């Protein structure tokens, strides 16, 4: 049996008719076709075939092959193949299409468009549509200016839609990984400082990278210069930065399953930090780090060659982020929570003093 199902063709239907005329069982017919018995059975039921048991006791001539005709079944299948089971709801020019395009033009994603329409038309199902249907309608449009125009409204504006992940991890597994699910409860509670989340952010054309670390309790950020995206380079960069921090404040690090962390055992040996790995395709398990990476893009844009930044320059960028008051910290800044010698008033006094002199 084939893994991918294919519809019966005219030759297979002819074999079914001949087998029935010769009195063969459905099982023997299905075996000769290398098909499932249920496939043959459904084909016969769709085409008004009468089994021998239902024909017993009736007068008149018995229908040949139980009434199944291959040519008639093939004609019916061709007609149904051209007729959609359901009319399309999202067609260029109809009212729903106009609403979807209008919302896309304001910068909304298809998922946001779907949510907005549900809120705006809670009692009008004809104006409610899933984001998958929107994507399908856009990417199945025939080639032309209208297709280009609508695709340009999407944030990525890709000519073809990428296939969705089915959950499998194609990157392979790192040696001796310790899962995030084995992490001590104190890490989740964020009461004890010293537990970090790590990642790499890439520069232009993914040709350069910078290591990012954020402490879960204080939101304190540390940046590591990484010569390239190799595991050895990442290990050296993270080791250098972590060893500048007191041993009591570098207890664990949670990372994704990127290949750059293949040397995690060497990292643990050099720094004493315990490395835990998040599940594949689960960025929310390192949400603090993901959010911090977004903030860092203000200073380290994707279009930049990140290899041009020295470790000293990265430290200055980290300081700017660590000195920002954070609402989640009751308007304290990460530096004054994590660094005992950081003076908040002195730091901002130097910034505000020139303004005071000009007034």
With vertex at residue 205, the alpha carbon angle to CA 260 and CA 267, rounded to the nearest 5 degrees, is 15
Neighbours of 286 (CB within 10 A): 24
User: Could you tell me which residues come within 8 angstroms of residue 14 by beta carbon, excluding any fewer than 6 positions away?
Assistant: 70
User: Could you tell me which residues come within 8 angstroms of residue 270 by beta carbon, excluding any fewer than 6 positions away?
Assistant: 235, 239, 243
The tokens describing 262, both together, are 């293949």
With vertex at residue 244, the alpha carbon angle to CA 240 and CA 246, rounded to the nearest 5 degrees, is 135
Entry pTM: 0.54
Identify the pLDDT of residue 276. Answer: 96
User: Could you tell me which residues come within 8 angstroms of residue 6 by beta carbon, excluding any fewer than 6 positions away?
Assistant: none
User: Could you tell me which residues come within 8 angstroms of residue 72 by beta carbon, excluding any fewer than 6 positions away?
Assistant: 47
- Find tokens 């990428």 and name the residue: 162
Identify the pLDDT of residue 200. Answer: 95
With vertex at residue 224, the alpha carbon angle to CA 222 and CA 228, rounded to the nearest 5 degrees, is 155
Cα 233 to Cα 26, 249, 292, 311: the distances in Å are 65, 23, 22, 14
Give the pLDDT of the chain (359 residues) as one tens digit per residue.
Answer: 445 678 888 899 999 988 888 888 989 999 999 899 999 999 998 888 887 766 555 565 666 667 888 889 888 888 877 666 666 778 888 888 888 888 888 888 888 888 888 888 888 888 888 988 888 888 888 888 888 888 888 877 777 776 655 545 555 578 899 999 999 988 988 888 999 999 999 999 889 999 999 999 999 999 999 988 899 999 999 999 999 999 999 999 999 999 999 999 999 999 999 999 999 888 999 999 999 999 999 999 998 999 999 999 999 999 999 998 888 888 889 999 999 888 888 888 776 665 444 44
Identify the pLDDT of residue 179. Answer: 93
Identify the pLDDT of residue 120. Answer: 86
Identify the pLDDT of residue 70. Answer: 87
Q: How many residues does the chain have?
A: 359
Three-class DSSP category at 287: helix
Domain ranges of the chain: 10-82, 95-151, 180-322
180-322: CATH homologous superfamily?
A: Ribonuclease H-like superfamily/Ribonuclease H (3.30.420.10)
The tokens describing 326, both together, are 């954070």
Contact yes or no for 284/180 (Cβ under 8 A): no
Cα distance between the two ends of the chain = 85
User: Could you tell me which residues come within 8 angstroms of residue 258 by beta carbon, excluding any fewer than 6 positions away?
Assistant: 171, 199, 200
Contact yes or no for 214/221 (Cβ under 8 A): yes
Neighbours of 38 (CB within 10 A): 10
Exposure string of 170-183, with b = 16+ CB inside 10 Å and e = fewer, is: eeeebeebeebeeb
Can you tell me the distance from the alpha carbon of 40 to that of 334, in angstroms, rounded to the nearest whole number?
A: 69
User: Could you tell me which residues come within 8 angstroms of residue 302 by beta carbon, excluding any fewer than 6 positions away?
Assistant: 202, 203, 204
Can you tell me the distance from the alpha carbon of 143 to that of 147, in angstroms, rounded to the nearest whole number?
A: 6
| Share in percent of the chain as helix, strand, coil (round to 5) | 50, 10, 40
Identify the pLDDT of residue 56. Answer: 57
Identify the pLDDT of residue 351. Answer: 67
Strands (E), 239-288: 252-255, 274-277
Identify the pLDDT of residue 293. Answer: 94
The tokens describing 205, both together, are 């054309």
Identify the pLDDT of residue 163. Answer: 63
Cα 306 to Cα 137, 198, 208: the distances in Å are 39, 17, 5
Please name which of 116, 87, 86 lies closest in space to residue 99, comparing C-alpha atoms.
116
């Amino acid at each position: 049996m084939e893994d991918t199902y294919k519809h019966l063709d005219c030759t297979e239907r002819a074999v079914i008719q001949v087998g029935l005329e010769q009195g063969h069982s459905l099982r023997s017919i299905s075996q000769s076709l290398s098909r499932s018995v249920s496939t043959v059975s459904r084909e016969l039921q769709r085409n008004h075939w009468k089994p021998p048991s239902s024909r017993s006791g009736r007068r008149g001539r018995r229908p040949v092959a139980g009434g199944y005709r291959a040519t008639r079944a093939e004609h019916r299948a061709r007609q149904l193949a051209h007729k959609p089971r359901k009319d399309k709801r999202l067609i260029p020019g109809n009212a729903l299409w106009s609403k979807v395009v209008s919302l896309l033009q304001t910068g909304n994603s298809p998922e946001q468009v779907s949510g907005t329409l549900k809120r705006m038309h809670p009692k009008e199902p004809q104006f409610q549509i899933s984001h998958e249907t929107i994507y399908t309608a856009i990417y199945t449009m025939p080639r032309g200016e209208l297709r280009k125009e609508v695709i340009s409204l999407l944030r990525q504006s890709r000519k073809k839609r990428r296939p969705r992940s089915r959950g499998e991890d194609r990157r392979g597994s790192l040696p001796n990984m310790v899962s995030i699910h084995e992490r001590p409860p104190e890490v989740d509670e964020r009461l004890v400082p010293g537990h970090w989340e790590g990642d790499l952010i890439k520069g232009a054309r993914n040709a350069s990278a910078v290591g990012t670390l954020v402490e879960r309790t204080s939101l304190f950020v540390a940046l590591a210069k990484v010569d390239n995206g190799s595991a050895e380079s990442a290990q050296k960069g993270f080791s250098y930065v972590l060893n500048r921090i007191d041993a009591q404040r570098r207890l664990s690090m949670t990372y994704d399953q990127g290949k750059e962390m293949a040397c995690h055992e060497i990292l643990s040996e050099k720094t004493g930090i315990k490395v835990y790995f998040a599940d594949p395709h689960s960025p929310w398990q390192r949400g603090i780090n993901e959010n911090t990476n977004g903030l860092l893009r203000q200073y380290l844009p994707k279009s930049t060659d990140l290899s041009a930044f020295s470790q000293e320059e990265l430290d200055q960028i980290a300081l700017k982020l660590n000195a920002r008051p954070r609402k989640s910290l009751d308007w304290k800044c990460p530096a004054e929570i994590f660094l005992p010698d950081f003076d908040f008033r002195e730091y901002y006094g130097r910034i505000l003093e020139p303004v005071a002199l000009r007034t």
